[in-house]
Amino acid sequence: MRPLRLLVSKAGLDGHDRGVKVVARALRDAGVEVIYTGLHQTPEMIVASALQEDVDAICVSILSGAHLALIEKIQKLLKSKKLSHLPVILGGIVPDEDFKKLAKLGVQKIFTPGASLQEIVTYVKSHIQPQV
């Protein structure tokens, strides 16, 4: 079986990427193939990369507070490209009152500051399956 392939991306205008790079490295060290798209990715760029890279899930880091708008746009684009089956995992600063809204938008899991690398790796390896 091939390793998991995850797209890891920084959405929007947020310029803080140290945390997402640490997470990407931890996932790589755990045997996950990580495609890191870098800073300032638009929803269109994220979905295009997911399609081109044939990933098993999309991990998005958003610290700017624009998570609801960005995730809604990503999910609409995934649906239009017939990729709505791809799990979306969100990392970032998310107020408690937005968790239910994000779940309704299709976010599978949210990691907030303080989540351990082991917690993230364990979740990914136990909840994300390779797309066949």
pLDDT in tens, 33-90: 999 999 999 999 999 999 999 999 999 999 888 999 999 999 999 999 999 999 999 9
Full set of structural domains in the chain with CATH = 5-126 (3.40.50.280)
The pTM of this model reads 0.94
Per the structure block, which two tokens stand in for 109?
A: 């899991």
CA 94, CA 127: separation in Å to the nearest integer?
Answer: 21
Residues 80-119: tens digit of each pLDDT: 999 999 999 999 999 999 999 999 999 999 999 999 999 9
Geometric angle at alpha carbon 55, from 52 and 56, rounded to 5°: 155
